[in-house]
Amino acid sequence: MSETKSPLPREVADAYVDELIALDPVTGTYLGVPESSSRLPDFSPAGQEALAALARTTLARLDEAERRPGGDSDVERRCARLLRERLTAELAVHEAQEGLRSVGNMGTPAHSVREVFTVTPTQTDEDWARVAERLRAVPAALAGYRESLAQGLERKLFAAPRPTATFVEQLGEWADTGEGRGWFEDFAAAGPEALRGELDEAARAATAAVVELRDWMRDVYAPAIEGAPNTVGRERYARWSRYFNGTDLDLDEAYAYGWAEYHRLLGEMRKEAEKILPGAETPWVALAHLDEHGKHIEGVDEVRDWLQGLMDQAIETLDGTHFELAERVRKVESRIARRAAPPRRTTRLRRRTSRVRAAPGCRRWARPVSRSTTWCRPGTTRACPATTSSWRSGRTSPGTSPATRPPSAW
């Protein structure tokens, strides 16, 4: 906590971010903190409880700060409201012990460990030295995650079998990308020759940790949860809906809206399909026709440049009309992976724009693309630069998420 006699809510938020980064260096990397680049979080039950303790302490500090002179100004109240919403939502998830059954095809601690390397700075040898240190931290991070899942098994807090099976497949793909080496080894291969031995050794250890987790998930965890339901239930769904959206939705209304929109959009798709291919039985027949006979962009560089133009145009059109974008977040780089990512698991990885560094955001296609149709990409590259929530100024709600999911898994 920053030393101050009378901290106001924004000062409490500043101190919280500093202490959060110390516990969660993945968040530190996304916020552009260089010192975070060599570390990974503690995903064990103890590590989760440390984050929860910080949230509780911060809420108590926030209550006190709001009572101080100046704590009732508009900017202070906004900051306090946004920070309190996030912390209470996170505590609700923690106290329900959701971290003890975090298994799925995205958003797990294992995914966080892998994906943070794609946004870790790699411009200099010093950067790569930090990457090597972070690679050496992978085994401990995955061991902590496994410890949490094992505790979940002991407490009968089971993940669903279907996403567990998918996760096991993913881990297998990360462990062997098809050339006898894992994803971490592929990533480290781009490092400087001066650190080649250190990077390769650390990457092999990281891959071995992935293999160990895969085997445990397959041989111990999956059999233990066999027969568990694949649905989460209304109570858990509501809790996660609040966490992802920053508000308590009327789930029945959201579900009804989702189905209404589905049928409306399906009707529009059928009309457009008839224009493209008269007599098409379904919109998907028309889409298959476009895949074969529609306009295509040929060549990796050409596809990347075309996608870059789409994003630049979207930013130019939306800035000042629907959003006000700071100059440092107006630039998003289009990149295409050198090698294939696991099929059907991910299609794009979005790199968030750093709050501290001047580095641009990045829209990375995780699978090599040398030929692309022009009919589908504009709909999948519509996102503007992702900006980090600014609790310090209270301008942006860190609880806002574009993902508003109808409760189909009740």
Tens of pLDDT, residues 54-111? 999 999 999 999 999 999 999 999 999 999 999 999 999 999 999 999 999 999 999 9
Task: Enter the pTM of the model.
Answer: 0.78
- Residues recorded for the chain: 410
Chain mean pLDDT for the chain: 85
CA distance 73 to 390: 17
Q: Which of 37-51, 148-162, 252-266, 327-341 has the lowest mean pLDDT?
A: 327-341
Report the candidate in 140, 139, 121 with the shortest Cα–Cα distance to residue 130.
121
- How are strands ordered across the β-sheet holding 348-351? 332-336, 361-365, 348-351
Name which of 158, 180, 175, 140 is nearest 40 in CA terms.
140
Cβ burial of 338 (10 Å; 0-12, 13-18, 19+) is exposed
* Distance of alpha carbon 285 from alpha carbon 362, whole angstroms: 33
How would you class 405 by CB atoms within 10 Å of its CB: exposed for 0-12, middle for 13-18, buried for 19 or more? middle
pLDDT at 406: 35
Residue 217 to residues 106, 145, 356, Cα–Cα distance (Å): 15, 11, 38
Q: d(Cα 8, Cα 91) in Å, to the nearest integer?
A: 22
* Ranges 26-40, 54-68, 294-308, 385-399: which has the least confidence: 385-399
pLDDT surpassing 70 at residue 362: no
Window from 206-215, 245-254, 285-294, 330-339 with minimum mean pLDDT: 330-339
Q: Rg of the chain's alpha carbons, rounded to an integer? A: 23
Specify the pLDDT at position 354. Answer: 43
Angle at the Cα of 309 (from 305 to 314), degrees rounded to 5? 150
| Per-residue model confidence (pLDDT) at position 383 | 35
Residue pair 228/161 in contact by the 8 Å Cβ criterion: yes
Give the pLDDT score at 356: 41
pLDDT digits (tens, 9 = 90+) for 160-194: 999 999 999 999 999 998 878 999 999 999 999 99
Residue 241: pLDDT band (50, 70, 90) is very high
Contact 399, 86 (CB under 8 A): yes
Q: Which two tokens stand for residue 382?
A: 């519509």
* Statement: residue 390 has pLDDT above 70: no
The residue that leads in pLDDT, 85 or 306, is 85
Q: What's the helix, strand, coil split of the chain in %, to 5?
A: 60, 5, 35
Q: Would residue 227 be called left, alpha or beta, if left means φ above 0 and alpha means ψ between -120 and 50 degrees?
A: left
